Amino acid sequence: MVNHRESSEHDYNIYSWSEIPNYFKVEHLLIGNGASISLDKNFNYETLKDYVVDNIIGERELLKKYFLSLFEKFNTDDFELILRLVWQAAQVNYILDVKGKNRKLIRAYKGVRISLIKAVQGIHSEHSNIEWHFKKIATFLCSFQTIFSLNYDLILYWVTMYSNKIDRSKHQFKDCFDQFHEFRRDWQTFRNPYPWGSQQKSTLVFYPHGNLMLIKNIAGKEYKISNREDSNNLLDTILDTWEEGKYSPLFVSEGNSRQKIESIENSYYLNTVYQNVIPSLWKCMTIYGWAFGEHDIHILKQIGESQIEELAVSVFGKDDNAIYRNHVIHFVEKYINHPRRNNRTRHNKKLVTVRFFDCESQGCWKN
């Protein structure tokens, strides 16, 4: 443990992961992009849009101008939003038989869709390149009752499927989607062990910003793409589904906090996770690889709506992270504790305290 100053409410010390259970009950986990970057540096790309401009469009200035104008028109960096808007417009024009304009919209939709497919192919890890980490990650994840991933990638899904296969009798990860690939309204019931077999524990998994494997049709119905026979090839199955053009991907990869909330409110699944699941949490939450950025303050505010009282936050390195630790505590005070102090309806909620742990310490994530 590295000692630093302490305040009356927060603990500025940096603990190893093995020390955290001495102070903190391991219950809920929030995973940010740092978790994915630790497995593959390709995930460090700031936005999918930037990847397309730098690696796919390149020096083709006319195409670049046309591509960027879509994002500028709607004041967003969110690939999924642009793809969905153009796709919906093309579908409406097709239904109304607006032939001239529809050809242009279809070309625009195909261009954005192909760009997204190539970006995901270029950035996303192959299953075979990272699967050697799965055993350690699964051991870490099994400690939690609830897991939230803010990442659009498939890493968490691959790890949970790996774990479910090797530990089927005792522990199961559940994403609350049923055999028809639809999200269940009674998601709370998935905390109970299955009535068959000897399962002892369940961990629920949610994606507050969506995921590559989630899709939406023109009527707004949402599904999970599944490849139970071979989850290793799920990325190919997802890209093939996008290629068909019948569904729009459901993930919010970019944009500011307000824009992300707008996208969340347009999805039954995302809105349920945001409005119902996160506020239902209690006691202690571990946060791994999350930057506490302004673009995600809506998530922090929702944590403030819950009964969470303690946060254990990962930090990179043991010494050169004082700025980050102060930033985390500032955000917790501003977006969680300040409302709790000033809102009478929250008088029964304790102020949240923060402690920190080394993200590379043994037993944590892939370590």
Compute the mean pLDDT over every residue in the chain, rounded to the nearest whole number: 84
One-letter amino acid at 174 equals K
Lowest mean pLDDT among 54-68, 112-126, 225-239: 54-68
> Mean pLDDT, to the nearest integer, of 15-23?
90
Whole-number Å distance between alpha carbons of 361 and 367: 6
> Can you read off the two tokens belonging to residue 280?
């239902």
Domain boundary among 76, 105, 123: 123
Smallest CA-to-CA distance from 264 within 277, 250, 249 is with 250
Q: Are both 265 and 205 inside the same structural domain? A: yes
Domain boundary among 123, 141, 176: 123
> In terms of residue numbers, what domain contains 108?
49-123
Q: How far is CA 269 from CA 157, 250, 285, in A?
A: 17, 10, 22
Residue 191: pLDDT over 60: yes
> Mean pLDDT, to the nearest integer, of 96-111?
69
Q: Are both 222 and 349 inside the same structural domain? A: yes
Number of domains in the chain: 2
> Mean pLDDT, to the nearest integer, of 114-128?
83
| Other Cβ atoms within 10 Å of 50 Cβ, number | 13
User: So what's the pLDDT on residue 61?
Assistant: 65
Does the reported pTM lie above 0.75? yes
> Mean pLDDT, to the nearest integer, of 239-257?
82
Residue 324: pLDDT over 70: yes
Residue 149: pLDDT over 90: yes
Q: Are both 212 and 280 inside the same structural domain? A: yes
Give domain status of residue 367, yes or no.
no
> Mean pLDDT, to the nearest integer, of 215-240?
83
Q: Are both 207 and 335 inside the same structural domain? A: yes
Domain boundary among 91, 123, 155: 123
User: So what's the pLDDT on residue 16?
Assistant: 94
Q: Are both 117 and 169 inside the same structural domain? A: no
Give domain status of residue 136, yes or no.
yes
User: So what's the pLDDT on residue 4?
Assistant: 43
